[in-house]
Homo-oligomer: A and B are copies of this chain.
Amino acid sequence: MLVDDYLQNMRDRDWEQLGSGTLRFALVGLGWWTREQAIPAIESAAFCEATVAVSDSQEKAADVMAKTDRLETTITYEEFVNGEAAEEYDAVYICTPNARHLPYAAAAADHGKAILCEKPIEATQERATELVTTTQDVPLMVAYRMQTDPQVRRMRELIAEGAIGDPVVVHGHMGQQLLDTVSESPDQWRLDPELSGYGATVMDLGIYPLNTARFVLNADPVSVTAQMHSENEAFQDVPDQHAAFTIQFDDGTYAACTASQNAYRSGQLRIVGTEGELRLEPTFLGESPQRLTLRSFDGRTAEIDDGRRDVFGDEMTEEFDYFADRVLRDEPLGPDGEHALVDMRTLAAIYEAAETGHEIAIQ
């Protein structure tokens, strides 16, 4: 039986081919995500180590150096751009404000380094396109961690194999209390359109249901509608303290999504098909146990907790090792820049739809 097979092999690395090897990373940006999530994930990874840290904050650099086994070099952004310590790393992990991805990705490409860049790939469509063009001679992957989450990979396989019939609708939500979550003022960059791009919430949170729906459906958006508004003073420069949007995909499926930076911490993803439904909940925010539930046409319900209790850490370790597996073997990898550009076009369309009140086609 399909479900039981998946249950047994839920956490297998369906992508791993590398026998051994190590990819050395320069960490570009030392915000809380790098320090709290990426570094522990790299330390848990089989094929990765962090050797260089890039930051203009001596305090953060010293903290990271003290806590990270193999990391012995810290440099400033300017030194990084100038190629200092380039012989000490093979790849970069870029985790800066969105509008800083382009210059550091371009520098990494100049130095001939593979790039793992956080999502969204940049602040605007134009800058994202420039990033992809500028880095075309090196491997580029965008850090959509849900795509290396084993349960999400099983959802995609189950859907492809017809476990829920033809997909009909998707529901996705991601919400958190940004102002409570973020304890350090530099992270308030999400509220600054110069650094975040089109907005604070759909760019940062709405992208999760959008991209994960694309991945599990194996389909791309064709048009969107959206509503959004900000009410608190902290959100006055961005249009989307709270947002709702619909997406029509090229297979006819609709997604109904919401995102909020001022809501109870909660995430869900649900796919309803003609013959069943798949639900992943809670999700997106690292909560555990993350349960995958399949209800199928015969009334049978299978609920799968795969045992992980550090979901963020596991997703990130999988992501780093997958990236290393592909880069070290010199094989194509994804989600790549072209994949990320589809999200950027969709994000731009969502903000345009909300601003104009018109359904917007994805070009």
Place the interface of chain A in its size category: 35 or more
- A171's nearest neighbour on chain B, judged by CB, is B171
Assess whether A193 is interfacial by the CB under 8 Å rule.
no
CA A262 to CA B272, docked complex, whole Å: 11
B266 touches A277 (CB 8 A): yes
How far is B227's CA from A359's CA once the two chains are assembled, in angstroms?
Answer: 9
Q: Are B256 and A244 in contact (CB under 8 A)?
A: yes
**Interface pair A297/B264, CB less than 8 Å apart:** yes
What separation, in Å, do the CA atoms of A266 and B252 have in the docked complex? Answer: 19
Does A165 belong to the interface (CB within 8 Å)?
Answer: yes
**A169-B274 in contact (CB<8A):** no
A184 to chain B minimum Cβ distance, whole angstroms, is 22
Report how far A138 CA is from B238 CA in the complex, Å.
51
Of the residues B168, B223, B257, B264, contact of A274 by C-beta under 8 Å: B264
**A175-B272 in contact (CB<8A):** yes
CA distance A243 to B225 in the complex (A): 12
Q: CA separation between A257 and B171, bound complex, in Å? A: 8
Whether A12 sits at the interface, judged by CB under 8 Å, is no
Q: Is the CB of A264 within 8 A of B171?
A: no
Also in contact, A276 and B264, with CB within 8 A (given A173-B169, A246-B245): yes
Instruction: Tell me if A258 is interfacial: C-beta within 8 Å of chain B.
Output: yes
Q: Is the CB of B254 within 8 A of A256?
A: no
Contact of A227 among B223, B231, B242, B258 (CB under 8 A): B223
For residue A226, CB closer than 8 A to chain B, the reply is yes
With A263-B272, A263-B274, A357-B359 in contact, is A175–B171 under 8 Å at CB? no
Q: Of the candidates B177, B252, B258, B276, which one forms a contact with A254 in the assembled complex, judged by CB atoms under 8 Å apart?
A: B258
> Shortest CB–CB separation between residue A252 and chain B, in angstroms?
7
Kindly state the separation between the CA atoms of A295 and B177 in the bound complex, as whole angstroms.
15
Chain B residues near A297 (CB-CB < 8 A): 264
Give residues 130-187 of A contacting B (CB, 8 Å): 164-165, 168-169, 171, 173, 175, 177
The answer to whether the Cβ of A248 comes within 8 Å of any Cβ in the partner chain is yes
A256-B244, A274-B177, A359-B357 known; A263+B225 contact, CB < 8 A? no
Besides the known contacts A169-B263, A227-B248, 14 further A-B residue pairs in the complex with CB atoms under 8 A apart: A168-B264, A169-B175, A225-B227, A225-B359, A229-B252, A242-B254, A243-B254, A244-B256, A256-B258, A258-B272, A262-B274, A263-B274, A264-B273, A264-B297
